[in-house]
C-alpha cells in the first residue's frame, strides 16, 4: 500500500479512493494517536470539523464525526467554511484537533481529509505516519479500544464559527475598503458566504460570481483555476479589482481593473512592500519556491528585500517561515501565508490585504503590481525518461550550463523531476519569450536523448 497522506492530507475520488470506511477509520486512528502522544492528557478531547460544499462532503463529514465521537472525542461541527477558517477555529476554540474535508482546487468528484493539530497547525509528518500505521493495524483485524456510556464523544453544531472567522479577518485589516468596487469569484466553494461578508463589512462594494454552491459545481469553470469569468466581470462592472479563490479558499489570485491577471508572485511583491512600510516584514525577507518568476526575485533585490527560496509546495514555504520566524511567504499559485494572522494559506485574508493596499495608497492594483515585471516562462514536461538521473547526467549538466550562459542574469533554467510521474519538467525564463521557447525546446531534446 502506498502512503495515504500526501503533501496536503489524504485525497482521492470520493466513494472510490476516499470511502466512508476510510474516513471513519482514519479519524479513529487520529484520535488514538493523539491520545498516545499526550495531546488529550488531563481533559476531555474536542475536535473542530468543517467541509467545503462538495456533495460527497456530506457523507464523509458524517463518517469523520462518527469516528471521532466513537473514540471519545467531542465534536464541534462548523459546517461549510474555508480550510483556513477551520484552522483558525481549531486554535481559537482551544480544540485538540481540526479536520477539514476538501479537495481544494480539484474537480468535484474528488475530496480529501486534512488534519490540524492543536493551535490550527498542520500535523507533523511523523504523526501522519503513525496515524496511517495505526489505521492499517486495525483495518486488518486488531479491535479498537472503544469507550462506552458517558465516555463516548458528543456532537454539536457550532454556528458561531462563521461570525468568529469574519471578525478575525476584519481585526487583521490595516484599513477599511470604502470606495472600492470589487468582484469576488468564490469558485462555488467554501468561502461563498464568508468572503463576501468580510469584504462588505470592510466597506467595499461587492459583486459576487461563482457564489451559489449546489454541491456539484465547485471549481467548475470558475475560481482561481479559471479566471476568464472574473476578468470579464471586472471589466463589465468597471470594478477596481477582482479576487478569485479556489474551492477551499486557501488560495487567492487577482485581476486588475483592465482585466489583467495578478498572480501569486505579484501579490507577494505588493504585500511585502506594504508590510515593510508597516514594520511587520521581519528580516526584510519573503519566502517563495524555486518556481517563482525570476521577475519577482529581481524586484525583491531592487527593493532591498531578501528572497528565501524553498522546494515546490506550500508546506516547505511554511517550514522555512517557522524555522526562521519570517512573516510572509507563498507560491505563484496564490497560496499566500501571513504567519502573524494565519497558520496556513488564507485566500480571503490575502484578498482583503491586497484590497486594503489599493485603498490605502489610492493607486490601482495594476500600478502596485507593476513593482515586478513577470518574465516570460516556458514549461515543457518531458515524459517517459529516467528522472533519477537529472543531477548525474554529464550531458545534461553541460547543456544546462551552456543555456545559463546564453541567458545571462535576466534568464533562468530549472529542471525538476516530477514527484508523481516518470517525467522531468523543463522550465526556462528569459526577458524575450522567443529565446525562452528556443532554449526550453533545446533542453527538452537533450533530456530525451540523455535520460530516455
Catalytic residues: 104
SS (H, E, C) 115-128: EEECCCCECCHHHH
What does the alpha-carbon distance between residue 199 and residue 320 come to, in Å, rounded to a whole number? Answer: 31
Name which of 95, 11, 21 is nearest 54 in CA terms: 11
Provide the 10 A C-beta neighbour count for residue 56. 22
250 is in an annotated binding site: yes
Rounded (10°) CA dihedral 71, 76, 81, 83: -50
C-alpha cell at 247: 474551492
Q: Are 200 and 208 in contact (CB under 8 A)?
A: no
Q: Are 275 and 284 in contact (CB under 8 A)?
A: no
Q: Are 173 and 89 in contact (CB under 8 A)?
A: no
- Which residues are bridge partners to 181 per DSSP? 205
320 is in an annotated binding site: no
104 is in an annotated binding site: yes
Kindly write down the DSSP assignment for every residue of 211-279, as one continuous string.
----SS-TTSS-GGG--HHHHHHHHHTT-SEEEE--TTS---EEEETTS-EE-HHHHHHHHHHHHHHHT
Name which of 286, 287, 279, 277 is nearest 319 in CA terms: 287
Query: If you compute the radius of gyration of the chain from its CA atoms, what whole number of angstroms results?
Result: 23
Q: Are 93 and 48 in contact (CB under 8 A)?
A: yes
- In this structure, the strands spanning 205-209 and 241-244 are unpaired
Name which of 148, 163, 47 is nearest 99 in CA terms: 47
Provide the 10 A C-beta neighbour count for residue 149. 5
263 is in an annotated binding site: no
What does the alpha-carbon distance between residue 147 and residue 72 come to, in Å, rounded to a whole number? Answer: 6
Q: Are 328 and 271 in contact (CB under 8 A)?
A: yes
Annotated binding site for Mg(2+): 104, 246, 248, 250
Annotated binding site: 104, 246, 248, 250
Amino acid at each position: 500500500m502506498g502512503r495515504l497522506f500526501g503533501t496536503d492530507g489524504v485525497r482521492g475520488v470520493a466513494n472510490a479512493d476516499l470511502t466512508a470506511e476510510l474516513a471513519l477509520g482514519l479519524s479513529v486512528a487520529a484520535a488514538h494517536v493523539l491520545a498516545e502522544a499526550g495531546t488529550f492528557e488531563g481533559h476531555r478531547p474536542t475536535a473542530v470539523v468543517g467541509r467545503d460544499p462538495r456533495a460527497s462532503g456530506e457523507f464523509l463529514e458524517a463518517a469523520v464525526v462518527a469516528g471521532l465521537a466513537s473514540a471519545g472525542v467531542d465534536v464541534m461541527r462548523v459546517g461549510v467554511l474555508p480550510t483556513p477558517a477551520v484552522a483558525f477555529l481549531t486554535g481559537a476554540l482551544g480544540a485538540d484537533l481540526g479536520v477539514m474535508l476538501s479537495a481544494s482546487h480539484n474537480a468535484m468528484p474528488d475530496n480529501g481529509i486534512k488534519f490540524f493539530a492543536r493551535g490550527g497547525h498542520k500535523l507533523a509528518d511523523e504523526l501522519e505516519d503513525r496515524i496511517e500505521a495505526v489505521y492499517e493495524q486495525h483495518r486488518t483485524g486488531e479491535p479498537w479500544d472503544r469507550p462506552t456510556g458517558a465516555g463516548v464523544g458528543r456532537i454539536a453544531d457550532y454556528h458561531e464559527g462563521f461570525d468568529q472567522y469574519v471578525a478575525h479577518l476584519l481585526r487583521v485589516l490595516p484599513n477599511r475598503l470604502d470606495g472600492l468596487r470589487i468582484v469576488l469569484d468564490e469558485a462555488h466553494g467554501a468561502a461563498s458566504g464568508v468572503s463576501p461578508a468580510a469584504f462588505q463589512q470592510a466597506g467595499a462594494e461587492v459583486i459576487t460570481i461563482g457564489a451559489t454552491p449546489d454541491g456539484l459545481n465547485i471549481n467548475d469553470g470558475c475560481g482561481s483555476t479559471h479566471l476568464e469569468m472574473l476578468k470579464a466581470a471586472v471589466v463589465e462592472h468597471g470594478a477596481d479589482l477582482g479576487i478569485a479563490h479556489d474551492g477551499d479558499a486557501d488560495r487567492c489570485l487577482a485581476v486588475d481593473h483592465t482585466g489583467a491577471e495578478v498572480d501569486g508572485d505579484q501579490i507577494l511583491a505588493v504585500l511585502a512592500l506594504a508590510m515593510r512600510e508597516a514594520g511587520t516584514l521581519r528580516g526584510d525577507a519573503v519566502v517563495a519556491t524555486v518556481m517563482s518568476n525570476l521577475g519577482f526575485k529581481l524586484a525583491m533585490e531592487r527593493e532591498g528585500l531578501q528572497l528565501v527560496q524553498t522546494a515546490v509546495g506550500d508546506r516547505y514555504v511554511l517550514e522555512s517561515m517557522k524555522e526562521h520566524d519570517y512573516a510572509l511567504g507563498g507560491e505563484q499559485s496564490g497560496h499566500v501565508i501571513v504567519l502573524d494572522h494565519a497558520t496556513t494559506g488564507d485566500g480571503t485574508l490575502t484578498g482583503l490585504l491586497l484590497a486594503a493596499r489599493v485603498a490605502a495608497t489610492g493607486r490601482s492594483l495594476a500600478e502596485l503590481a507593476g513593482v515586478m515585471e513577470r518574465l516570460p516562462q516556458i514549461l515543457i514536461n518531458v515524459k517517459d525518461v529516467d528522472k533519477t538521473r537529472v543531477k548525474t547526467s554529464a550531458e545534461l549538466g553541460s547543456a544546462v550550463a551552456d543555456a545559463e550562459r546564453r541567458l545571462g542574469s535576466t534568464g533562468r533554467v530549472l529542471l525538476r523531476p516530477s514527484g508523481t510521474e516518470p517525467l522531468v519538467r523543463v522550465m526556462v525564463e528569459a526577458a524575450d519569450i522567443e529565446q525562452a521557447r528556443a532554449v526550453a525546446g533545446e533542453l527538452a531534446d537533450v533530456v530525451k536523448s540523455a535520460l530516455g
